[in-house]
Amino acid sequence: MSFKEKIINKSIPKHIAIIMDGNGRWAKKKGNKRIFGHKNGVQAVKDTVEAAGEIGVQYLTLYAFSTENWTRPKTEVDALMTLLVNAIKNEVDSLMKNNVRVKHIGNINSLPKKVAQKLNELINKTSSNTGLTLILAISYSSKWEITDAIKKISKQVKNNNIDVNDITDETISRNLATAEFPDPDLLIRTSGEYRLSNFLLWQIAYTEMYFTDTLWPDFRKENFYEAIYEFNKRNRRFGKTEDQI
Ligand code: FPP
């Protein structure tokens, strides 16, 4: 029985976030340059978006480029930016056909003009779609996002729009880049690394984690469904006792 068949009548996570890792190592194993791994990672993105749509996942967040990734060699950064622009161009029709709504989290001002422009066009074009919401984390990091939220809240305090004593965790959530999305139920990281790498640190307080040795370019629909199968075995208590659930 496939993992898809095993999960079909089970609870499907509303929001899944993925740290797509292992592109460089995948390419190296094949005696190729790192960018070859990134290029092949695009097929894994397509498979995952399709897989999520097929079973009714509502939100899928993909960590495509962190603020720390800017420190990689310029050739790799430039190649990744070109890859993103091309992927957007090539996938727009399929995203429309599949009713996918695209959103972005991250520092849009730090992106090359062309990338920001293509991304904004894609977001606008897909904004009325009602199926899967695909959230692309590009030039994103949690520390950037939380710092930004603190600046926004400080201004609101300074302008007397909020009293400092009224600040709650909800206030913080509302000022994050993810304000309009629910917190992830499941976080997947590929490539056998057990790190969070500055990704959604606030939002994953009660998220289930799933780590797999599969390198991102090898990640296919069945790998995605296997992660959901494992998710269904978890007992989520959100700090309560077993009896209270
Ligand atoms: C991490 O692997 C991967 C990235 C930094 C880039 C991910 C980008 C894509 C899959 C390309 C397209 C994305 C979209 C949304 C169309 P790594 O380079 O850190 O690999 P390593 O750990 O093996 O070196």
Segments in the chain below pLDDT 50: none
Q: Ligand 1: which atom is nearest the Cα of residue 76? A: 18
Domain boundaries, the chain: 11-141+184-231
What is the token pair recorded at 186?
Answer: 């499941």
Residues in the chain: 245
So what's the pLDDT on residue 8?
87
- Burial-class residue 170 by CB neighbours within 10 Å (0-12, 13-18, 19+): exposed
What CATH architecture applies to the domain 11-141+184-231? 3-Layer(aba) Sandwich (3.40)
What is the token pair recorded at 202?
Answer: 């606030």
Residue ranges lining ligand 1, Cβ < 6 Å? 20-25, 38, 41-42, 45, 62, 64-65, 69, 83-84, 87, 136, 191, 216
**Tokens 């006792």 appear where?**
241
So what's the pLDDT on residue 239?
87
Per residue in 90-120, pLDDT tens? Answer: 999 999 999 999 999 999 999 999 999 999 9
So what's the pLDDT on residue 224?
98
